Chains A and B, each alone.
Chain A
C-alpha cells in the first residue's frame, strides 16, 4: 500500500464513529425489548455462554398420593452437553414395574443434573387421578424445558 493511501489515525477513529453509533442503537433496542428484569451488570458484558446449562445426567422421581418417593433412578446423558437459549429439551424417562404389586403414581419429577451431580433444573407434573402401573408394565414420564 502506498503511504498516500494510509489514512491518518484520527480519520480512522472518525470513520468508526458511525459504526459505534449503530452498535449502541442496536444494543439499546435489544435491551428495551428484553422481558428480563434489568440486571445490575450491563447485559452486553455478559457472554451468551453464561446462560448455557451444562447437563451431565438426569433423574426420575416417582411419588405416590401421599407424596412419598416410591421410585427413583438416574441416567447418564451420554456425556456433558449444553442447553442454551432458543433451545428446547425433552426428556423421556421410562419406568417398568418389576415388583409383584401395582405401583400407584400421582406425581413425578424429572431433574437435570450438572457435571457435579447437583440438580440444576427440575420439571414436575402431577396427575388428576393416580396412575396405576401393574406388575411388568412400563410407562414413560416426559419432561420439557425451553430456554
Chain B
C-alpha cells in the first residue's frame, strides 16, 4: 500500500492513504490528498490540499487551494481559495479570498480576508448570518 509520497514523479500528486497516520510538518509542492490522519502542519506555497471524506487533519494549514470533504481541526490559510463540501467538519479559522461552502457542511470559526472577519458558526445554509451579511455593506 502506498502510504505517503508527496512528490510523485509524473502527476505531482501525493497521498496519505486511509489507515495511515502522519505526525509532524508536511511540505508539498503540487497536490496532496489526505484520506488518513495528519497532525502537525501542512504547508505548500501554491499547492492544493484535498482532505477527503475519510481524512482527518488536526493541523494548521497554509496552502494555495484547500478542498475539504473530511475533518479539519485547525486554522487554515489558503492564498487562492477554500472549498468546503457537505461532508466536511471544520473547526478553526479560515483565511482566504474565495470561499465556497456546500449546504450541509459544518463550519465553526472565523472567515477572514484582510480586515474583514465575519464570524461563521454552525451548519450551512446560514440564512440568518447577519454578521456576514453586514460585511457586504461595510463602510
Interface residues of A (CB under 8 A from B): 58, 75-79, 81, 83-84, 86-94, 125, 127, 129, 131, 138-140, 142-144, 146
- CB-nearest residue of chain B to A93: B97
Q: Which of B39-96 contact A (CB under 8 A)?
A: 46, 48, 64-65, 78-81, 83, 86, 96
Please give 14 more A-B residue pairs, beta carbons under 8 A apart, in addition to A91-B98, A129-B139. A58-B98, A78-B46, A78-B80, A86-B103, A87-B102, A88-B103, A89-B100, A89-B101, A90-B132, A92-B113, A93-B97, A138-B114, A139-B115, A140-B116
Name the residue in A88, A129, A140 with the highest tally of chain B Cβ atoms < 10 Å from its Cβ. Answer: A88
Give the complex CA separation of A80 and B130 in angstroms: 30
Does A90 contact B103, Cβ atoms closer than 8 Å?
no
Say yes or no: A90 contacts B98, CB within 8 Å: yes
Are A131 and B139 in contact (CB-based, < 8 A)? yes
The smallest C-beta distance from B79 to any residue of chain A, in angstroms, reads 7
Size class of the contact patch on chain B: 20 to 34
Assess whether B124 is interfacial by the CB under 8 Å rule: yes
Q: Could you give 30 example pairs across A and B, Cβ below 8 Å?
A: A75-B97, A78-B46, A78-B64, A78-B65, A78-B78, A78-B80, A78-B98, A79-B65, A81-B81, A81-B83, A81-B100, A83-B100, A86-B103, A86-B104, A87-B102, A88-B103, A89-B98, A89-B100, A89-B101, A91-B98, A92-B99, A94-B114, A125-B136, A138-B115, A140-B114, A140-B115, A142-B113, A142-B116, A144-B132, A144-B136
Given the complex, which residues of B lie within 8 Å of A86, measured CB to CB?
86, 102-104
The residues of A that contact B100 with a CB separation of less than 8 Å are 81, 83, 87-89
> Interface residues of A: mostly helix, strand, loop or mixed?
strand
Indicate if the CB atoms of B80 and A127 lie closer than 8 Å: no
Q: How far is the CA of A26 from the CA of B74 in the complex (A)?
A: 42
A112 to chain B, nearest CB (A): 10
**Contact A87:B103 (CB < 8 A) given known A78-B80, A94-B114, A142-B116:** yes
Q: Confirm or deny: B1 has a beta carbon within 8 angstroms of a beta carbon on chain A.
A: no
The smallest C-beta distance from A52 to any residue of chain B, in angstroms, reads 12
User: Once bound together, how far apart are the Cα atoms of A26 and B65, in whole Å?
Assistant: 38
Q: Is the CB of A88 within 8 A of B125?
A: yes
Name the B residues within 8 Å of A142 (CB-CB): 113, 116, 135-136, 138
